[in-house]
């Protein structure tokens, strides 16, 4: 994906449909698109589509006096001591109007006692990404959170999202559909986020759920039962957690309406772009009102993420936790074997022969079409040794 891009329409998606999602950038044919005309068309379409919807409320943050009194030196010290948090805006190294970080749950959530009670009952203190991202999101800013997996990103974007959707004004016209969508690259991650949403016993949300709808959250993903997912959507789910492919499919068939959505999350956006979901993500964003709050999380900051941020986020603040260069965990020793393509299987079998019967291992391939042939090769090699082996990929689940 080279160069800049704007919103991609269904027509453009149809032009791209013959290109595999995993196709390399240099294999993608150039498509002539009048971006200025497309932008004008989108703006006019949005004006008509969202007529009757009140403006999205975004700022719900009341800064704790103790946090407000922090000096620049104290803020810098807190950020440095908590995994070297950095806060920036666009190309600038520092974001001067970013809210100060919080260090306790009470500082962030004292005006939302139900959430405060929940957090203090489950955790000791905020994680570094939560310390800075909560004030940013509660202030109503678009944001990019750069942090590795397992750093508390899910709660960092979920809790401000629940506050956002609970405090929107009622529409003057009858609209259906969710108020918050979270897009994740895989079914497994989507189900994890869905489980986390259902664990959040945020009483105001639950009371409204009991009075108005039978389901608060629905997880929409491929390989799941489409009919069940559609029934839950029809029941009035306020939160939808989805994979890009399935949600885009429902949008194309006009089985889901995203006009009410006021809070959008792309979790692990870098992975979704690597997996070829740009067209799907563009379709989703084009189906949501333009004044929504938009959050992206990523483990890396690359040109693809930069392009999405430039065209789809507004005055976003980037919060980065940890060093700029990704590193493997210190418990892992990495060995790299350089070889030709036709030598890979032999080198792999040679390495596996050095393992003992008690050793366990995982072999990953980059395409599911490669999975079963490689499994057959390994199976035949170890047939006489009766080693237990398993092959798995999406079509086998």
pTM across the whole model: 0.73
292 has pLDDT over 90: yes
pLDDT of residue 19: 43
What tens digit of pLDDT does each residue of 29-67 get?
A: 555 667 677 667 777 777 777 877 889 999 999 999 999
Query: If you search the block for the tokens 């004292």, which residue do you land on?
Result: 110
Average pLDDT over residues 342-347: 89
Domains parsed from the chain with CATH numbers: 1-331 (3.40.50.300), 341-396 (no CATH)
214 has pLDDT over 50: no
Residues with Cβ within 8 Å of residue 263, at least 6 apart in sequence? 160, 161, 164, 165, 179, 180, 181, 292, 293, 295
Cβ atoms of 258 and 181 closer than 8 Å: yes
User: Directed axis angle between helix 244-252 and helix 226-234, to 10°?
Assistant: 70
369 has pLDDT over 50: yes
pLDDT of residue 330: 43
How many CB atoms lie under 10 A from the CB of residue 364? 6
**Percent of the chain beyond pLDDT 70?**
83
pLDDT band at 71 (very low <50, low <70, confident <90, very high): very high
d(CA 254, CA 388): 46
Q: Give the burial string for 314-345 (b: 16+ CB within 10 Å, else e).
A: eebbbbbbbeeeeeeeeeeeeeeeeeeeeeee
The token pair that represents 209 in the structure block = 């759920």
pLDDT band at 304 (very low <50, low <70, confident <90, very high): confident
Average pLDDT over residues 82-99: 84
Q: Give the burial string for 58-78 (b: 16+ CB within 10 Å, else e).
A: bebbebbeebeebeeeebeeb
User: Directed axis angle between helix 128-138 and helix 153-166, to 10°?
Assistant: 20
What tens digit of pLDDT does each residue of 118-150 get?
A: 899 999 999 999 999 999 999 999 999 999 888
Average pLDDT over residues 162-178: 86
Least confident of 64-73, 116-125, 171-180, 228-237: 171-180
d(CA 193, CA 265): 11
251 has pLDDT over 90: yes
pLDDT of residue 375: 85
d(CA 7, CA 278): 10
**How many angstroms from the chain centroid is the CA of residue 16?**
23
Q: Which residue has the higher pLDDT, 188 or 368?
A: 188
d(CA 373, CA 379): 10
pLDDT of residue 225: 93
């Amino acid at each position: 994906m080279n160069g800049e891009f704007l919103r991609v329409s269904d027509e453009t998606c149809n032009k791209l449909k013959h290109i595999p999602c995993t196709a390399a950038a240099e294999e993608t044919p150039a498509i002539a698109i009048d971006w200025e005309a497309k932008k004008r068309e989108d703006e006019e379409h949005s004006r008509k589509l969202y007529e009757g919807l009140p403006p999205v409320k975004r700022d719900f943050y009341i800064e704790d006096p103790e946090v407000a009194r922090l000096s620049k030196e104290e803020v810098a010290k807190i950020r440095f001591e908590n995994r070297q948090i950095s806060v920036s805006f666009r190309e600038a190294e520092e974001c001067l109007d970013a809210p100060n970080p919080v260090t306790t749950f009470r500082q962030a959530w004292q005006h939302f006692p139900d959430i405060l009670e929940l957090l203090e009952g489950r955790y000791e203190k905020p994680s570094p990404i939560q310390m800075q991202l909560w004030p940013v999101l509660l202030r109503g800013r678009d944001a990019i959170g750069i942090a590795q997996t397992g750093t508390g990103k899910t709660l960092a974007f979920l809790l401000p999202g629940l506050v956002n959707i609970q405090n929107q004004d009622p529409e003057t016209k009858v609209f259906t559909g969710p108020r918050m969508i979270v897009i994740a690259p895989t079914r497994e991650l989507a189900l994890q986020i869905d489980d986390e949403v259902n664990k959040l016993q945020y009483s105001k949300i639950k009371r409204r759920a009991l009075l108005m709808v039978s389901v608060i959250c629905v997880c929409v993903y491929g390989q799941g039962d489409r009919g069940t997912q559609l029934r839950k959507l029809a029941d009035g789910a306020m939160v939808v957690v989805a994979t890009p492919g399935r949600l885009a499919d429902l949008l194309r068939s006009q089985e889901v309406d995203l006009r009410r959505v006021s809070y959008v999350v792309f979790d692990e956006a870098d992975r979704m772009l690597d997996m070829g979901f740009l067209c799907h993500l563009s379709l989703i964003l084009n189906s949501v009102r333009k004044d929504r709050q938009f959050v992206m999380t990523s483990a890396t900051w690359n040109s693809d993420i930069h392009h999405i941020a430039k065209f789809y986020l507004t005055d976003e603040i980037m919060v980065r936790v940890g060093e700029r260069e990704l590193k493997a965990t210190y418990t892992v020793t990495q060995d790299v074997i350089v070889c030709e393509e036709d030598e890979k299987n032999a080198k792999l079998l040679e390495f596996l022969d050095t393992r003992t019967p008690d050793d366990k291992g995982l072999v990953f391939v980059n395409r599911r079409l490669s999975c079963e042939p490689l499994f057959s090769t390994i199976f035949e090699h170890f047939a006489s040794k009766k080693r237990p082996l398993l092959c798995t990929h999406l079509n086998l689940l």
